[in-house]
Structure 1
Amino acid sequence: MTDSEPTPLPPTEADETGGDASGNKIRFGKAAVLFTVFLGILAGVGTFTFGYGKGASYLSNNPETCVNCHVMQEHMDSWQHSSHHHVAVCNDCHLPHHFLGKWVTKADNGFFHSLAFTLQNYRDPIQIKPRNQRVTQAACVDCHQDVVHAMLPVNAGEDMQSCVHCHSDVGHAFR
């Protein structure tokens, strides 16, 4: 060694355990382990819940999926007697018709529906939320453009009468 090089210090107990004298790395290691355990528990509970709640079935277009929750049976029965039974399924009216919007809405509704049904925190009869009313309105307009074009707002962003205001029994008869 030359005079310009610093003399190395002998290893301390903290260096051997991976932390400094105050033990910061050790605490970080415990926090990381606890965080990892927490994520593991959360993933396990989520996986169990997804399986128990038949979560994969919600990725389909099958109307029978909607009655996985018993509170939806009346809606399913009324849809089967509606004029749209042979031309539209739940996703056609209750999800946007573009790819990204469909999956974002499906995830959003899936989370909040499962939360409400699990916690038994929902109105009976079930009420459609304003954001889902907008989705349904857009689906009506999209499918029936040739008929409703004269009723569309002149300026973008203006409101129009809700289709289900006059046609409340089209998607779900006897309501």
Structure 2
Amino acid sequence: MRPRSWLFIALGACVGLAFGIGGFTFTYAKGYSYLTHDPAACANCHVAYKREGAMKISDHHVRSPLLNINRACQTCHKWSEEELKGRVETLQARNQKLRGTAMDALVDLIHELKARKDTGATDAELAEARGFQRKAQFYLDFVEAENSSGFHAPQEAARILGDSINFSRLGQSALRNPQPVQQTAAPKDP
């Protein structure tokens, strides 16, 4: 083999190694996910930033990314501002509608609990419905506290709000079809 052919073999091995490592890293890090329209692909923080040389510098204004789509979204997502804003607004409108339904269901349950209490229902008779009311309230509060109006994980927000609605429904059902309260005898002293 000629000395020059070793140079080409070594160069080819280096190039192959570089492409192999780069390909593995791209696949392992799921770099291809940034080429999709799937909002679950977002892996970076969407705080607006600017570049100064090789450094990313946050503008330190914690606010809606929609106020600066170019810096907050388009650094990774290469669609137009109109498309990105439209997608966010659609997801948030769906979340807002479901959130309203969950809140209405919870308020209806609370009104029914109050009405039953006013007609003389005992705490024991209301205990099951109150348990469902607490769960419905907790799930609704969780989505409210998350503060993205459902955008960060729309499917999960919808699931949690659906569970809240179901707990409210179960509470109303417990009020309408009460189960008899079982009296337990006090333990006897030996």
TM-score by length of 2: 0.28
Which structure is higher in strand share? 2
Structure with more contact order per residue of length (Cα contacts < 8 Å, sep ≥ 6): 1
Q: TM-score, normalised on structure 1?
A: 0.30
